[in-house]
């Protein structure tokens, strides 16, 4: 019985936590589809969050995309040229960049940059009593605090992942040409990549970015709002948000990949 308790209690806690995340995500999705939920203050908060999570992170995303293009795309071209299979370059790049590292890298970047900021901000607001003040004034914290952050994170992850994939592929080709590794003109390179993209790749890319973006936003908001008593809970909330968000991203990516494969 002790063994069952040791195994069952953590499993039940994780199940209840997952159900709570799913319930809040569903509530946010339902609210976001209602026009009357987007009041002026909520729209203003959404704009601020998109600016911070998406626009301000563009420079770092471009830098990482260029480095990824040099390391991944360049290596793929070199390896395929050595074995005489350069015509497989498009398929390899789509598999590695579009279906693999692109969404994952962007999710991790957003978690480290914006997820911690969201959890820390909401934890400070909760500890300082600002959330209780909103509630006492009859203002639901979910439409004002949670919904714009979750929506902004989902939109930003999708946009940044698209930019990351395009820039990494382009920079890989450019540096391959400079080093004499890339064969053919850019039209042939782009055509090989586009021909390798299957109809299910675009929905899978959206699922690997939008769904993790929603999950990351919900998790960071939950962890931030769970801080109640002391400022010492603020860094703990940020740490929990990062760890749980990374786990959620990996799990969702694995599930989407398996569904896409079958």
Per-residue model confidence (pLDDT) at position 6:
62
Binned at pLDDT 50, 70 and 90, residue 118 comes out as very high
Q: Residue 85 pLDDT more than 70? A: no
Between CA 176 and CA 186 the distance in angstroms is 11
Per-residue model confidence (pLDDT) at position 126:
87
pLDDT digit string (tens) for 57-80?
A: 898 999 998 888 888 777 776 666
Between CA 80 and CA 101 the distance in angstroms is 19
Determine phi and psi for 137, rounding to 5 degrees.
-85, 5
106, exposed or middle or buried, with CB in 10 Å at 0-12, 13-18, 19+?
buried
Per-residue model confidence (pLDDT) at position 151:
94
pTM: 0.87
Q: Torsion-angle region of residue 180: left (phi > 0), alpha (psi -120 to 50) or beta?
A: left
Give yes or no for a contact between 130 and 97, defined as CB atoms under 8 angstroms apart: no
Give yes or no for a contact between 243 and 112, defined as CB atoms under 8 angstroms apart: no
**Nearest 5 degrees, angle CA 77-CA 83-CA 86?**
45
Q: What is the largest CA-CA distance in the chain?
A: 70
Per-residue model confidence (pLDDT) at position 72:
77
pLDDT digit string (tens) for 216-262?
A: 999 999 998 888 777 888 888 889 999 999 999 999 988 888 887 76
């Amino acid at each position: 019985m002790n063994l069952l308790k040791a195994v069952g209690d953590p499993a039940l806690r994780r199940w209840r936590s997952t159900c709570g995340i799913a319930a809040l995500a569903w509530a946010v999705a339902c609210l976001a589809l209602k026009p009357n939920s987007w009041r002026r203050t909520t729209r203003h908060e959404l704009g601020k969050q998109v600016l911070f999570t998406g626009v301000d992170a563009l420079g770092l995303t471009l830098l990482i995309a260029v480095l990824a293009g040099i390391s991944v795309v360049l290596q793929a071209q070199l390896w395929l040229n050595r074995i005489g299979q350069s015509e497989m370059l498009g398929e390899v790049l789509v598999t590695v960049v579009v279906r693999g590292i692109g969404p994952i890298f962007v999710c991790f970047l957003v978690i480290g940059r914006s997820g911690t900021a969201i959890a820390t901000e909401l934890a400070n607001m909760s500890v300082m009593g600002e959330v209780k003040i909103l509630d006492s004034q009859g203002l639901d914290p979910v439409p004002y605090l949670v919904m714009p952050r979750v929506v902004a994170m989902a939109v930003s992850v999708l946009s940044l992942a698209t930019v990351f994939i395009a820039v990494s592929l382009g920079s890989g080709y450019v540096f391959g040409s400079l080093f004499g590794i890339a064969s053919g003109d850019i039209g042939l390179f782009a055509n090989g990549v586009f021909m390798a993209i299957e109809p299910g790749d675009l929905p899978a890319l959206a699922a690997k970015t939008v769904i993790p973006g929603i999950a990351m936003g919900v998790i960071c908001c939950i962890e931030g709002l769970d801080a109640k008593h002391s400022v010492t809970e603020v860094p703990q909330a940020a740490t929990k948000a990062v760890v749980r968000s990374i786990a959620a991203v990996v799990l969702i990516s694995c599930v989407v990949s398996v569904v896409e494969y079958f």
